[in-house]
Amino acid sequence: MWAPTAVGSAVLAAEIPAATALVSRAPDGADALAAIGAAMSVLVIANSVALAMAPLVVTAEGTRTPRALLRYSLLVGLCGGALLVAVAAIPPLAAPLPPEFRDDFRYCLLAAAPAPPAVALRRYLHGRLILAGGTGRIASATFIRVGVTVLTAAACLALTPLPAAAVGGLSPAVGAFAEAGLLALAVRRLPRSPGQEAAEGGRGRRSLPAEHARLAAPFLVNMAPHLVTTIAITAAPEPAASLTVWTALYGLLLLLTVPMLDLDSVTAARLRKDPADPGPLRLAWAVASAAGGLLLLGTVTPLAGLYVTDVIAVPPGPAELGLRWLPVLVAAPPLWAVRGYLRGRAMAAGRSDLLPQSVAAHVVVLAGACAALPATGLPGVACASIALVAALAAETAALLARLRAAARVAAPEPGGSRTGAR
């Protein structure tokens, strides 16, 4: 079940680097590269709440109708788009950036404003397809989406006077709507499920915003490091060079971690059917080993350098600075995979309340590291890399500890009673 969503996510992870590679070669592409990275750090925050729609659809089966979930998804997406417009419209919010990047930052945000509604809609459709076991359609739709994104970027750069930064924000939004349209056609062909009938009967209704908030918190933590580390970079030495190369390094990290986006949802779906199923744990270890091994290979061979300098076209100075600190990020993909499995276990056990608790550890460590490290004199890209890995490790450890504590409480006593029942 996970493989098709992973393939689709892996292809999707290449979308922003592909569009960025085109934009960076435009006449104004050098400044646009850093501005797009900063704008995307805000966009992913706006999108993070929308990304939680897939697990929300899975966990809300039998309690809400598809139509109610669709309406809620569209509302979430519109709120995300409004956030981007608000950030672009308030000039002081761009003040921490180097002056040469500020206008491009605003152009990119305004052009990307349609993206959150499209993301919310596609993630709602992902959830419907995951429940129906039709995840193969997700991969095919994603391939088409990336093609639409690249064609849109190329056409805008060649045929319109839009700034390169605006093209970098607009083209992924167009691709997202194309994918959502294809997925909507696939969902229309799905048979009516028993869960829909139960939902229409009003059985077992829960607070939708409250459940969504619990599920969205981990997605917010997935995405928040991009924004928080970008802010830290602006306060550290060598901010312009670090911002430029961080766009490429974070994109490389996403190529390896975005395929894990639905690992928690798929793990939860499997473990809800059979809590003793060893498959999800084996999958998590395999994904962690493969992703970490690939990034390690890139750091000890010229592959990462080729990606940064030849594909993304980062200038030589910033590229050298970023590659010097890339080994710090090798631990990030394995931690991401293990965390996804642990989140799935919590969701399957009906303990989504544990997710915000582990998120708190991530937030505290990330914020503390990003506040303290710039004062050490390390370049911005080094501060960002160290803070990112430390926060992932803290959240993973906290979630594992919470799950073990919950298991001890629920474990049966020798006499057969459950300690949690008293």
Same domain, 232 and 145: no
Share of the chain above pLDDT 70, in %: 90
Q: Which of 203, 230, 250 is the last residue of a domain?
A: 203
Residues 82, 227, single domain; the answer is: no
Tokens representing residue 273 in the block: 């059917």
- 52 and 80 in a common domain: yes
The pLDDT assigned to 421 comes to: 40
Give yes or no for residue 412 having a pLDDT over 70.
no
User: Within this chain, do residues 126 and 219 fall inside the same structural domain, yes or no?
Assistant: no
Query: Do 181 and 227 reside in the same domain of the chain?
Result: no
* Pair (45, 149) in one structural domain: yes
What are the residues facing 418 on neighbouring strands?
A: 412
349 vs 109, higher pLDDT: 109
- pLDDT band, residue 417 (cuts 50/70/90): very low
Quick check: 25 pLDDT over 70? yes
Looking at the fold, whether 94 and 240 belong to one and the same domain comes out as no
For residue 114, report the phi and psi dihedrals to the nearest 5 degrees: -70, -10
The pLDDT of residue 48:
85
pLDDT digits (tens, 9 = 90+) for 233-252: 999 999 989 998 998 899 88
Whether residue 201 is predicted with pLDDT greater than 60 in this model: the reply is: no
Q: How many CA atoms lie within 13 A of 61 on its CB side?
A: 18
Residue 68 has pLDDT above 80, yes or no: yes
Average pLDDT over residues 267-273: 82
- The three-class DSSP label of residue 7 is helix
Q: Which domain holds residue 270?
A: 207-409+416-422
CA distance 325 to 311: 19
Res 49: pLDDT: 87
**Phi, psi (deg, nearest 5) at residue 412:** -70, 145
Residues 173 and 277 placed together within one structural domain of the fold: no
Domain boundary among 168, 203, 238: 203
* 165 plus 219 within the same structural domain: no
pLDDT for 187 equals 87
**Measured CA distances, 207 to 214, 218, 387, 410 (Å):** 11, 18, 35, 25
| pLDDT recorded at residue 419 | 43
Domain boundary among 203, 228, 253: 203
- DSSP 8-state assignment for residue 418: B
Residue 199 has pLDDT above 60, yes or no: no
What is the per-residue pLDDT for 420?
Answer: 43
In terms of C-beta density within 10 A (0-12 exposed, 13-18 middle, 19 or more buried), how is residue 323 classed?
buried
| Lowest model confidence (mean pLDDT) among 120-124, 135-139, 272-276, 401-405 | 135-139
Q: Are residues 265 and 371 in the same domain?
A: yes
Q: Give the residue-averaged pLDDT of 52-72.
A: 85
Vertex 246: Cα angle to 377 and 53 (nearest 5): 125
Using a 10 angstrom Cβ sphere, with 0-12 exposed, 13-18 middle and 19 or more buried, the burial of residue 25 is middle
Taking residues 138-144, report their average pLDDT. Answer: 83
Taking the C-alpha atoms of residue 419 and residue 422, their distance in angstroms, rounded to an integer, is: 6
Residue 26: which pLDDT band, with cuts at 50, 70 and 90? confident
Instruction: Report the pLDDT value the prediction gives residue 211, as an integer from 0 to 100.
Output: 83
Query: Given this model, what pLDDT does residue 10 score?
Result: 67
Indicate whether this model's pTM tops 0.85: no
Instruction: Give the pLDDT mean for 167-182.
Output: 92
Nearest of 89, 83, 91 to residue 113 by alpha carbon: 83
Q: 37 and 143 share a domain?
A: yes
Sequential DSSP letters for 115-178: HHHHHHHHHHHHHHHHHTT-THHHHHHHHHHHHHHHHHHHHHHHH----HHHHHHHHHHHHHHH
State the DSSP code for 62.
Answer: T
Residue 413: pLDDT band (50, 70, 90) is low
Residue 170 has pLDDT above 90, yes or no: yes
Is 340 found in the same domain as 265? Answer: yes
pLDDT of residue 193: 58
For the chain, the domain total comes to 2
Query: For position 206, what pLDDT does the model report?
Result: 61
